Amino acid sequence: MQITANAKINLSLDVLGTLPNGYHEVAMIMQSIDLHDVLDIKKNDSGRIALRCDRADLPCDGSNLIIRAALKLMEYVNRHDGADITLHKNIPMAAGLAGGSADAAAALIGLNRLYGYGLDTDTLKEIGAALGADIPFCMQGGTCLAEGIGERLTSINPIPDCHIVLIKPVFDVSTKYVYDNLILNGDTIHPDVAGMTELIKKGDLHGICASVGNILETVTIKGYPAIESYKKALMYNGALGSLMSGSGPAIYGLFDDETAAKNAANAVKACFKDAGADGYDRICICHPAREGVIVNGS
């Protein structure tokens, strides 16, 4: 069986406060995009989950979310079925694009189908949420309002078709660093998540682009000013809106014209020479997707 695992971007991301358990309460608009990883999954008779990946720098041991998700699923169904999983990695790692969560979501859906466990999507989401708050969205995909710690999802109308120029800078950003340094007080300016929801419902692409917002930029841009440079480069080259996704450092620009998007991608590549330095394009063009996980065959 082959499974496609789509990445995500945030159109709006707000942090409302810290919960008693230490997690942060959020309100955000999440959007699947067609930049994706691919998982090939086969049954084996060993009773073990074996993972390999085409990127040498990605751990394939028990720390990988794919392995953790598979073991959590086996624990839930009280089985010890084996599988050989090959991960073809395209989504940049540690970028704010939920690549690891997407892979875990794909593994849960794929193994459930491969072995015929018969678990419904809500149950799989519960299993995934215990490992990562983005996993339930990565299963559902499309355009969603995410609340709580990100696990409470409300589907919204798909956003209008558009072209997304996505940039992953050469550096990584620690999510823990971002949240540890986030300041929430009476002076904090919060993104208008409710307003963004209404603009999406109306299909107002220009309004959506003008209203993108991410409260985590208040931390990340201070520590990594190059992010602001990428955003300005995208806007200078015709983006209708530009934002950092998640805790970063990936940045995207939204375009309503394919030629403009291609020209902007080429212009930014010319300005930032580190693009494409580590085996996959750091600057690429992608599009909104209506699904998070796609089962391609069995």
Q: Which residues are catalytic?
A: 8, 134
Beta strands in the chain (DSSP E): 2-18, 24-44, 49-53, 82-88, 143-148, 152-155, 163-167, 213-214, 241-244, 251-255, 283-286, 293-297
CA–CA separation, 211 and 152 (whole Å)? 22
Which residues on adjacent β-strands are paired with residue 283? 167
With the CA atoms of 280, 89, 259 and 143 taken in that order, what torsion angle do they form, in degrees rounded to the nearest 10?
Answer: -140
- Contact between 135 and 128 (Cβ < 8 Å): yes
Measured distance CA(148)–CA(26) in Å, rounded: 6
Whose tokens are 């015709």? That residue is 238
Q: For every residue of 117-156, which 3-state class applies, written as one string?
A: CCCCHHHHHHHHHCCCCCHHHHHHCCEEEEEECCCEEEEC
Distance CA 132, CA 151 (A): 9
